[in-house]
Structure 1
């Protein structure tokens, strides 16, 4: 493992330059300095707020010597926009459940492995679906099932020279809850997805408004409560969906749900304002709330996590110089500093060893090893989000990814599930 700096690189003023004074410092295979006098190329990146952060944009522009335009939005909104208009972006950042939609719409093109400088460093999660030998695979679209572009143009498990997405950030998600509002009766019970549908939280439950994410949160919750049973939760049948949404619509009519959020900032506001005491949640939101001294816990459900893998996709309309710059940006993401930055909001990177040198020992031990924080740790916003003595729920990187119940997935019944989802949120 590379030796880690004891001072967090996030706060260091001594930044590496990837392109400076016309000399490349070696992050990207095939990078060439841009000619003096030529305008800087502009890279357009569409995605969600979880990775399209201003600090990342500024650092990438500084390191690569290019202009970058971020176009962030809610996950459902950006997916629809990207699938219908690939000319509106060069790179697309979201989660693995978007791949089948984008691929079928011909909105993205294959990525050449040989142009990914650190491909050999990427770990087995995206290549085989598991990090450790005895890990639970998880139902649905594990990333290795949809990453390789087959000879016939389909996506599958057999390794080829082309991939549908760059595997970079990833995590396991669950729900967050305000510890100050945890019902006393639940305080001594193991955390469970069923809490989302527990009557003691009625009127204080918020769900992510995404039919390929929120659907699984609610399916796991309904199954945990014994309301429904699924033969394969990663491929629910129409009958099973009917049963699930019958329960959910009944709960809606009883005002069980307080709202449906579409972005991380909105989920933060739901909890901060008191509108929700428990909700679907992503790690950056938990980090942000803890940084504001709101005691939100990111649950480690006994039933297992909902897993996701970040995908960086190349637009089918991206060619020439824009395509070269897109590859530079993809390689930059795996070059070390970005992976360390994103670790501070609880996300992992596909080649973590390269990012280790940019994390302090305390950060590495907390975020990746699951150890007790030996000092206060700051989030991506610079605020303390982890107090000394805290320990990450779910354990180490390997432990958390050994307990995936289901992956974000576009099911064979996707179109039917969309119809049922919109019936539900408008009921």
Structure 2
């Protein structure tokens, strides 16, 4: 059974002891970050230098200030102390999560079927692509993609796309409903394989997309671009949370697993999907130099680039969509978040789905 990130976050918040470790999406301080908060059932893991996420504590990438709307991981990554309920503005020993991966998301397109440049988020609702567009059906993420579209259309500028008011939610959902009733969307996708199939079949030519789905489509020999857009990207982060009930040998085993996960092999696998590893240096040790140059530095590939399954997803001479880490993460406009009005937002999102 496929479980969406929203469902995983909900279960992690309400049933923390149903798993030894929770791979949690960093989607808002109320739902994921207070590792020492007994109400959330988590303890603060000892980071011990593992938080090599390349995001400056000042919220900068390569000296450039990046978007902080929503919940930027650096603002909720650390606690003042092991049992503290307060976030630290600078790195400490105690983390809210053990960081695993993060990325900057954008729209995926079929350039061969579109036949012209795509530069803006509002193209998702362009009537030119009526019946050929799709948006992901995960409310907390889909609403932020929609907000990027709304701003790109010039309809409204959000003070914080990651924490909308009810009026802002209404505005955004009404625009989506109007587009849906006009036949804009071929489908709404809930999980990875749906997005791959929609794009690979050509049923959809522009949609919300995740990096591994783009990698999968390209490894099938089908043109697919993870399109950089002028308004920037929607970013996210993920990490592993430790339930408070972990003690003794179980706690030791949890740390052993995290130590393995951050030792490099998993990080290299994530890179080959198009993600960034939460611990860069060890991932680099498990990658060929030409792979690191392509995925991290944005250099032209000197050899064919292969996906995690070993199939060729990019030919030698090509450059990664969006370029280097500094270019891609430097273009972040906002971060995934759980809004104060999350329940209202989900209710309105369901109205959009049913429209």
TM-score (norm 2): 0.91
- Give the CA deviation at 1:126: 7.0
Decide which of 287, 299, 302 is 2:215's aligned counterpart: 287
- 1:160 Cα deviation after fit: 4.3
Q: Write out aligned runs for 1:218-237 (5 A).
A: 218-237=146-165
CA distance in 2, matches of 1:345, 1:175: 16
Secondary structure of the 1:162 match is: coil
The answer for the alignment partner of 1:167 in structure 2 is 99
SS in 2 for 1:341: helix
Matched, 1:238 2:179: no
Q: Does 1:109 align with 2:39?
A: no
CA distance in 2, matches of 1:412, 1:356: 38
Equivalent pair of 2:9/2:25 in contact (CA under 8 Å): no
Decide whether the 8 Å contact of 2:99 with 2:279 is kept in 1: no
Q: Give, in whole Å, the separation in 1 of the partners of 2:91 and 2:48.
A: 17
- 2:243 is matched with 315
Q: CA deviation at 1:384?
A: 0.7
Q: What are the ranges of 5 or more consecutive residues in structure 1 without an aligned counterpart?
A: 1-70
Quote the offset at 1:332 in angstroms.
1.6
* Alignment-derived partner of residue 299 in structure 1: 227
Report the 3-state secondary structure (helix = DSSP H, G, I; strand = E; otherwise coil) of the residue aligned with 1:279.
Answer: strand
Q: How many residues align?
A: 350
Aligned partners of 2:60, 2:26: CA distance in 1, in Å?
Answer: 15
Q: CA deviation at 1:199?
A: 0.8
Paired residues of 2:16 and 2:42 also in contact (CA < 8 A): no
Contact 1:135–1:403 (8 Å) recurs in 2: no
The Cα of 1:363 is off from its aligned counterpart by: 0.5
Q: CA deviation at 1:163?
A: 1.7
3-state SS, counterpart of residue 277 of structure 2: coil
Query: 2:127 maps to which residue?
Result: 199
After superposition, what is the alpha-carbon deviation per residue over 1:77-111, rounded to whole angstroms, capped at 9, x for unaligned? 22232222222111111421165324589344133
Residue 180 of structure 1 aligns with which residue?
Answer: 112
SS at match of 1:106: helix
Calculate the TM-score normalised by the size of structure 1.
0.76
Cα distance change on mapping 1:317 and 1:425 into 2, 3 Å: farther
State how far apart, in whole Å, the 1-side matches of 2:219 and 2:183 are: 31
**Cα distance change on mapping 1:264 and 1:245 into 2, 3 Å:** same
- Greater Cα offset, 394-403 or 314-323: 314-323
* Closer/same/farther in 2, CA of residues 314 and 275 from structure 1, 3 Å limit: farther
3-state SS, counterpart of residue 212 of structure 1: helix
More displaced 10-residue stretch of structure 1: 73-82 or 251-260: 73-82
Q: Say if 1:339 and 1:348, in contact at 8 Å, map to a contact too.
A: yes
Give the gaps of 5 or more residues in structure 2: none
RMSD of aligned alpha carbons: 2.2
CA distance in 2: counterparts of 1:279 and 1:82, whole angstroms: 29
**C-alpha separation in 2, matches of 1:181 and 1:216:** 26
From 372, 393, 398, give the equivalent of 2:326.
398
CA distance in 2 between partners of 1:126 and 1:331 (Å): 23
Equivalence for 2:52: 122
Q: Equivalent residues in 2 for 1:28-177 (5 A)?
A: 73-97=3-27, 100-102=30-32, 103=34, 106-113=39-46, 116-119=47-50, 122-125=52-55, 127-150=57-80, 153-155=85-87, 157=89, 159-177=91-109
Q: Which has the larger radius of gyration?
A: 1
Q: Distance in 1 between matches of 2:29 and 2:107?
A: 24
Q: Which SS does the other structure have where 2:273 is aligned?
A: coil
